[in-house]
Amino acid sequence: MREINNVCFGAHAGKTYRLRISNVGLENSLNFRIQNHKLKLVEVEGTHTVQTTYSSLDVHVGQSYSVLVTADQPAQDYYIVVSSRFTSTVLTSTAILRYSNSAGPVSGPPPGGPTIQIDWSLNQARSIRYLLFLSNSLLLFMRYAVKLRNLNGCFRTNLTASGPRPNPQGSYHYGLINTTRTIILSSSAGIVNGKQRYGINSVSYLAPDTPLKLADYFKISGVFRVGSISDRPTGGGIYLDTSVLQTDYRTFVEIVIQNDEDVIQSYHLDGYSFFVVG
């Protein structure tokens, strides 16, 4: 159901609901909370975590969480709040959690949440132990990446829950893996043809008329050029190209991602579940 200014989500008293929360933005982290209700975190990026209860959750770019919410409060309407994190101006959006036997509308202002507190987010990440570098989504933070780096790979999974497991094929001896190549990707920004552009290793991606997978499968020439992007930062000015970087099939490649900009950058490795090692 929908009101003029708010989306409403219905709930029955005593019932427990699973909410899937995703941050599909490009830059800003978000904080999610429900007035007077606890959020029991049960899953992060397809992996069942040890269940931990929070009053609110930071959801960073590209992340998805599943939480259990029990309608165990007096029957009325409650605010659902999402607000931006680490921004000079805090942007807030609200919805309504409405009990089926609600006795009245929401009361008071929407509950406040953390705004620029970095330690708050770090402490939450430590408590989850499934941190920020998960599945296909990777976040790079501008000023406190060093703090986060020490937490990578330290997560606790709930082995009693059903669902996918990390690396179901078995565990590799990661320290013995022979990496055949190191690729360094560095983000950059600049003006090209009078427009603000962003790039990796000085290349700002130019989408071709023919999709790359079709061009590759049908061997259509002139659509892309392998090696059109360097596997190291060049230090040169930003330019447009259909950037394609070649790797060898079934080899282990180390990818180093650098963010030299003064804003958060997000990276998505499509179709791959990767392991952060440093």
pTM comes to 0.63
Asked if 243 and 200 touch (Cβ cutoff 8 Å), the reply is yes
Distance between CA atoms of residues 85 and 107, nearest Å: 25
Share of the chain above pLDDT 70, in %: 79
Contact 14, 38 (CB under 8 A): no
The Cα 237–Cα 111 span in angstroms is 46
Q: Please state the domain extents for the chain.
A: 8-149, 181-247
175-221: per-residue pLDDT in tens?
677 888 999 999 999 999 999 999 999 999 999 999 888 999 999 99
**How many other CB atoms are there within 10 angstroms of residue 220's CB atom?**
14
Residues 238, 2: Cα–Cα separation, whole Å: 46
- Non-local CB neighbours of 165 within 8 Å, separated by 6+ positions: 47, 157
Q: Which of 27-31, 168-172, 200-204 has the lowest mean pLDDT?
A: 168-172
CA 169, 172, 177, 183 dihedral sign is positive
| Bridge-based pairing state of the strands 39-44 and 47-54 | antiparallel
Fold of 8-149: Immunoglobulin-like (2.60.40)
Say what the pLDDT of residue 157 is: 66
